[in-house]
Amino acid sequence: MCDLPTNKSLGEITRTLGATEVNKLIFQSYKNLSFALVKHHLDDFENLKSLILSSNNVTYMDKDLLAGLVNLTGLNLRDNNLHLIAGVFNYTPGLEWIELGDNALRSIELGTFDNLKNLTLLNLWKNHLTEPQSGIFDELIALKSLDLNGNNMVKLPDDIFAKLENLEVLNLSRNNFTHLPRNLLQNNTKLHTVSLFDNKRNMTTLPNKFFANLTELKVLKLRKNGFVTLPEDLFWGCTSLTNITLERNYLQTLPVHIFRDLKKLEKLELNFNDLETLPDNIFSNTNRLVNLDLSKNRITSISGYV
């Protein structure tokens, strides 16, 4: 733990130590650097590719703080106290990953990420983005992974992910939803993993065809969301699904054709629900299913035709 120098950049200091081609810089002071950290400190790092400024209790960043880091591809600002990030990424179009988890962001201004055409990973977990606005992700054309878990989100605009055609991994867990828009994921046809678990309110159900026709989808984590019922067409067209976790909900039964198209399903966790019975032939098309957990339900008998 050390203080920032007042009359020298960190680049100058590393050069005096003989490090002239620094491509990764880690600075963690565990102090409040909100107004102490300025552009001058990051001068002389023309070759820097990865910058880690986590755990510095930063609440504010100058818009030009990263202006000299023309080759930056990775930025870790995890575990600070950031409230606002507008303009910070204007000078770093080469960024490929950004870690902003465990901060205090309450909103994201339109245009904040518009310069980041190469960004593939964006982590925004454990902030306070209760109602993120439409359009904030629209220019992230290369984005593959987006983590929004733990934000106490109460609702999402229908089109908030509409432009993310390359998205593969999405985490919406540990939020405060009561419902989600039916067409929320319809354009995200490259999704292979969706996490939506430990919701803080009972959602009771999901919209019809919510995951339907996501042909690349392989893993769904849907535990502990308060589901009572699920629509029959929820997974229709999800021909690549291999793993579904639905444990610790309140499901009493399942529609007979809910698993109709899941010929590659290998693992299904339905434990800790309120299932009393299962429809005949519900698993007739799941020939690859090798792990089925029905423990801790209310089932007293299972038909020989299941």
Residue 302 is predicted with a pLDDT of 82
Following CA atoms 225, 213, 189, 168 in sequence, which dihedral angle do they give, to the nearest 10 degrees? 40
Whether the pLDDT of residue 64 is over 70: the answer is: yes
pLDDT, tens digit, 9 for 90 and up, residues 231-269: 999 999 999 999 999 999 999 999 999 999 999 999 999
Q: Which helix (H) or strand (E) holds 99?
A: strand 97-99
Q: Which helix (H) or strand (E) holds 15?
A: helix 10-16
pLDDT, tens digit, 9 for 90 and up, residues 171-193: 999 999 999 999 999 999 999 99
The larger pLDDT score, comparing residue 33 to residue 2, is at 33
Whether the pLDDT of residue 39 is over 90: the answer is: no
pLDDT, tens digit, 9 for 90 and up, residues 233-243: 999 999 999 99
pTM of the model: 0.94
Whether the pLDDT of residue 11 is over 70: the answer is: no
CB-CB contact of 54 with 99 (8 Å): yes
Residue 48 is predicted with a pLDDT of 93
